[in-house]
Structure 1
């Protein structure tokens, strides 16, 4: 099974939606721009990154077995901010859109690969990463995504993938309405199927899209497999009820693996999905809030 990197997918979604929202530039407008490495200078994978809209100089990044790093000078220098915590394996970092001091971190990278690392639950900072409180979901082991309500920093959804090598019950999509002091599981299949992604519609935080992924790592390298319970789901009542989405997306008959999902900020009815599904792998687009889909690239 070929894996898609969630951060790469998120960047692609962001660039696509930005292109839709902005007027066309002259073809030579960016010819003088070049890429450069802004650090931090370390080996390994970068699993998640987020900026702070109210503070354009501030960014957080999460790396596997490297903790969380923060820059306050547009990436010129980076500082580790979670080295005093009992895990360095990070799957997700998110800043509350309405309060940049509140930062949530999900531990456990959630990439389902031979050299993965697991975590020990959720963390929260109320002072922009200076101090941390350890929360729950400690047996989830892999937390690949967090979605925070745009107006209520205490309301969040968490995708919990679960144990990579065996079954466990703490999997699926969880919701908290009290800043992570407690979590309620709102979408669940079984002890083999976990949550791989979750996003909120930018115009309605009660509209939630989530991905479940039935996956397992084997006892030897490259022995991974995906099962029949993987899929994309939608809720329009804040996670109380869920509807599976299909309408042109790959199915288990196609060898479905993992979905990743993003929403165009300029038009919440436009959705993009990355799919691993054999010869039907690729990027899919919906223009009607998930009712129907078409593949845009392989």
Structure 2
């Protein structure tokens, strides 16, 4: 953990404490631990950090709105309480203008306690005021990506309603800062976008994980012909689906989590729900895939736990979030628990 700040937030909420300043050098060599007070605010579902000052951290929760820390996680304050919705699925900070923050509402982990959202919100004054900028009928927004060179170009991954078919799901794109939206990837009215990643070298290249799913009060359906990995090279205007001919599992797929290695973007990981759940890896940017692990320490309950992350400086160090936090140091081949648990945490958000 030397020279890096690993931030992990559990199934905990936040209660503001007296203002303190954190000296990050004091964290070197410390074991990872919970930094949230015990006030209940729901699962932490989203994290983003302003890279200009890594002490400025934003988190979203399943039922407690959006919280901000100006002290690297020592103290927290709520900044979304005046909004009409408290269930959060995604957060994105404009790295060129940290006063501009985007929040997608509706938790993206559709267990039976999930709350739906009311669209996409935006602030341009650091969270003092918020405006809904559309996509109200998507119900669940799980990812937001801002174009690195043009923050008026925004991509949104919408899962759609868990409780029934609706056409307001898939990948949406705005080129005017959220004033208008176009649906650029749509499969069917039961298939939403469970994950969306961008190539850090090429802002026009995307990989999307589409997921066909549906929930009833008495059961849950995960998977179908609509699920799969889609690739775009033209800013989302056209997409090509990868298949079993490219090395992915045969048959219907379920939920898929994606992660691109920032240090070597040709390396992409996919945690795939299938007849045999497994981690797949691509070394050519998402064209061809091979299965690298079925280790039990990758996780379970893929409809609920599917997020994976790659160390930005080491393409072989991969993290998988579930009831524990697991880590691989060999490119996903083997896994071991990195952070265990003494209470029951649900790990759904991570920043490294």
**Shorter-normalised TM range:** 0.7 to 0.9
Alpha-carbon contact 1:67-1:82 (below 8 Å) kept: yes
Note the alpha carbon deviations across 1:190-248, whole angstroms, 9 max, x for none: 1111111112110111111111111000121x433322110110110111110112311
Alignment partners' CA distance in 2, 1:145 and 1:68? 15
Note the alpha carbon deviations across 1:92-113, whole angstroms, 9 max, x for none: 0111232222111100012121
Q: Which secondary structure does the structure 1 equivalent of 2:141 belong to?
A: coil
Alignment of 1:5-84 (within 5 A): 32-43=29-40, 44-84=42-82
Alignment partners' CA distance in 1, 2:220 and 2:236? 34
Note the alpha carbon deviations across 1:178-200, whole angstroms, 9 max, x for none: 11111100000111111111121
Alpha-carbon contact 1:40-1:78 (below 8 Å) kept: no
Alignment partners' CA distance in 2, 1:49 and 1:262? 15
Name 2:260's counterpart in structure 1. 263
Q: Which secondary structure does the structure 1 equivalent of 2:176 belong to?
A: coil
Alignment partners' CA distance in 2, 1:128 and 1:182? 22
Query: Scaled by the length of structure 2, what TM-score is found?
Result: 0.73
Q: Which secondary structure does the structure 2 equivalent of 1:139 belong to?
A: helix
**Among 286, 291, 308, which residue is 1:290 paired with?**
286
Alpha-carbon contact 2:112-2:217 (below 8 Å) kept: no
Name 1:234's counterpart in structure 2. 231
- Give unpaired runs (5+ residues) of structure 1: 1-9, 12-29
Number of matched residues?
267
Runs (4+) of structure 1 exceeding 6 A deviation are: none
Alignment partners' CA distance in 2, 1:73 and 1:231? 40
**Among 176, 182, 185, which residue is 2:183 paired with?**
185
Alignment partners' CA distance in 1, 2:198 and 2:108? 20
Name 1:250's counterpart in structure 2. 249
Note the alpha carbon deviations across 1:123-161, whole angstroms, 9 max, x for none: 011122222111111011011111111121111110111
Alpha-carbon contact 1:214-1:228 (below 8 Å) kept: yes
Query: Scaled by the length of structure 1, what TM-score is found?
Result: 0.85
The Cα shift of 1:278 comes to 3.0
Name 1:272's counterpart in structure 2. 269
Q: Which secondary structure does the structure 1 equivalent of 2:291 belong to?
A: strand
Name 1:224's counterpart in structure 2. 221
Alignment of 1:118-267 (within 5 A): 118-220=116-218, 222-246=219-243, 247-251=246-250, 253=251, 255-267=252-264
- Give unpaired runs (5+ residues) of structure 2: 1-6, 9-26, 295-352
Aligned Cα RMSD in Å?
Answer: 1.8
